[in-house]
Amino acid sequence: MKQSLLLKNAMLILFISTGAGVLAQVPDDSPAARDAAIARLQKATSCKVCNESSAMSMPYGTSCNSREFQAPPILAAPQKQWELNPGWWGVWPPVPIGNVILTGSCNNDGNEGLSAIDKNTGKIVWRIGNICAVGNRRGSTGKVAIYALPSGEALLIYPREDGGATDYYVVNIKTGKIVRTLSPAKTGPLRYRSGIFTTLNQSSKDGYSYISALSDDLSSVRWQNKEFRLAMTNNLDPLYTPTFAAPASSNGILFQTARSLDQNEPFTRQLHAIDLKTGKTLWKHTAQPIMLKRNGLSYRSDDGIPMIADGKLIIRLQSMEWPAVYASGLRALDPATGKILWTVDPVSGQQIFNRVAVCGILVTEVAINKNRELWGYRLSDGTLAWRRPLSKNAHLLTSSGGAFYVGERIVDNDSRYKDHRLQGFDGLTGTLLWTGSYPDYYLGLGTSNTGWDIENANSATPLWIIDKDGAIYGITLKGIFKLK
Domain count, the chain: 1
pLDDT tens-digit readout, 316-354: 999 987 776 788 999 999 999 999 999 999 988 888 989
> Any idea which of 83-92, 95-104, 411-420 has the lowest mean pLDDT?
411-420
8 A C-beta contact, residue 26 and residue 388: yes
Of 36 and 441, which is predicted with more confidence? 36
pLDDT tens-digit readout, 218-275: 999 999 999 999 987 655 677 788 899 999 999 999 999 999 999 988 888 999 999 9
Q: Please state, in angstroms and rounded to a whole number, the distance separating the CA atoms of residues 293 and 112.
A: 55
Q: Residue 207 is part of a domain; what is its CATH number?
A: 2.130.10.10
Q: Please state, in angstroms and rounded to a whole number, the distance separating the CA atoms of residues 404 and 384.
A: 17
* pLDDT reading at 445 higher than 60: no
Q: Is 38 helix (H, G, I), strand (E, B) or coil?
A: helix
Question: Quick one: CA dihedral 107, 112, 114, 119, positive or negative?
Answer: negative
> Using CB atoms within 10 A of its CB, is residue 295 exposed (0-12), middle (13-18) or buried (19+)?
exposed
8 A C-beta contact, residue 445 and residue 439: no
Residue 127: give the domain boundaries. Answer: 3-483
pTM of model > 0.85: yes
* pLDDT reading at 460 higher than 80: no
8 A C-beta contact, residue 198 and residue 211: yes
Question: Quick one: CA dihedral 262, 264, 267, 270, positive or negative?
Answer: negative
Q: Please state, in angstroms and rounded to a whole number, the distance separating the CA atoms of residues 389 and 373.
A: 4
8 A C-beta contact, residue 285 and residue 271: yes
Mean pLDDT of 98-121: 92
CB count in 10 Å sphere of residue 430: 25
Residue 446 has what pLDDT? 56
pLDDT tens-digit readout, 367-408: 988 899 999 999 999 999 999 999 988 999 999 999 999 999
β-pair type (68-69, 394-400): parallel
